[in-house]
């Protein structure tokens, strides 16, 4: 029988787009499983054999998607960093004042820290990566720090944030946020959203400048007290 007479859907091969989609889904499954295992056991203790076992595939099958364990580690970090880059780009595109931008950044960063890929930004050691990838990670960390400082400086300039040291303030805020990646456990008493909201408030309320109307209203009161009160 001439194979040209067969219906088009009788091919044993999936269409190219379907094959690529299936491959991408399997690749994503490898990353999701690996990042969970790395966080549970630590990068050095976790093995690719265990990743393969959880996926019910053979270890050689993993090499269809990744060349090494280190490449998987870097990809897990990269996904977390892409999420950070995305919400920073969204905040940068807004017309919000510095305080609002800072609060939005704190909230989004806190929520990201409560995810596996977000936690990989602070739980994995860049020294386990190749020199090239390690440089990329260090540069990205500096970029996040600069963003915190920028929003704080913008807030000081527009009057929404009290005068402070942007560098020290950024270190304190980021340090608090990064610890979420170490202690957060899904299914706990507070959801990631609730924790993010609380952090956004608590880490910025002391920085917020008083509204201009309140400052203006306080001035006459001070003058009256200085003059012995109203007559």
Q: For residues 159 and 161, give the distance between their C-alpha atoms in angstroms, rounded to a whole number.
A: 6
pLDDT of res. 11 = 46
Q: For residues 209 and 161, give the distance between their C-alpha atoms in angstroms, rounded to a whole number.
A: 5
CB atoms within 10 A of CB 131: 9
Tally DSSP H helices, then E strands, for the chain: 11, 0
Radius of gyration of the chain (CA): 25
Task: Tell me the pLDDT tens digit for each residue of 112-131.
Answer: 999 999 999 999 999 999 99
Residue 34, classed as helix, strand or coil, is helix
* Secondary-structure percent of the chain, ordered helix, strand, coil, rounded to 5: 70, 0, 25
Bridge partners of residue 217, in order along the sequence = none
pTM over 0.85: no
Q: Say if residues 138 and 126 touch (Cβ distance below 8 Å).
A: yes
pLDDT of res. 1 = 44
Dihedral sign, CA of 206, 212, 216, 217?
Answer: negative
The low-confidence residues of the chain, meaning pLDDT below 70, are: 1-23, 211-231
pLDDT of res. 187 = 84
Dihedral sign, CA of 89, 95, 100, 102?
Answer: positive
Question: DSSP label at 9?
Answer: G
Cβ neighbours of residue 193 closer than 8 Å, sequence gap 6 or more: 111
* The two structure tokens encoding residue 73: 């580690």
**Inter-residue long-range contacts of 90-99, CB under 8 Å, 24+ positions, other chains counted:** 91/151, 97/154, 97/155, 97/158, 97/160, 98/151, 98/152, 98/153, 98/154, 98/155, 98/156, 98/157, 98/158, 98/160, 98/161, 99/155, 99/160, 99/161, 99/204, 99/207, 99/208, 99/209
């Amino acid at each position: 029988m001439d194979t040209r007479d067969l219906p088009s859907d009788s091919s044993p091969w999936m269409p190219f787009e379907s094959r690529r989609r299936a491959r991408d889904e399997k690749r994503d499954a490898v990353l999701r499983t690996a990042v969970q295992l790395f966080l549970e056991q630590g990068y050095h203790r976790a093995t690719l054999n265990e990743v393969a076992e959880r996926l019910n595939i053979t270890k050689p099958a993993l090499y269809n998607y990744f060349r090494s364990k280190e490449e998987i580690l870097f990809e897990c970090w990269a996904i977390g960093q892409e999420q950070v880059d995305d919400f920073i780009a969204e905040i940068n595109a807004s017309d919000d004042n510095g305080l609002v931008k800072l609060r939005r950044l704190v909230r989004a960063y806190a929520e990201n820290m409560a995810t596996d890929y977000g936690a990989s930004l602070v739980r994995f050691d860049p020294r386990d990566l190749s020199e090239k990838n390690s440089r990329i990670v260090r540069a990205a960390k500096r970029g996040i720090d600069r963003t915190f400082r920028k929003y704080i400086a913008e807030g000081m300039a527009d009057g929404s944030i009290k005068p402070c040291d942007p560098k020290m303030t950024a270190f304190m805020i980021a340090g608090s946020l990064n610890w979420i990646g170490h202690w957060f456990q899904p299914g706990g008493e507070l959801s990631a959203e609730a924790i993010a909201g609380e952090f956004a408030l608590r880490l910025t309320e002391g920085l917020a400048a008083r509204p201009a109307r309140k400052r203006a209203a306080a001035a006459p009161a001070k003058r009256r007290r200085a003059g012995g009160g109203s007559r």
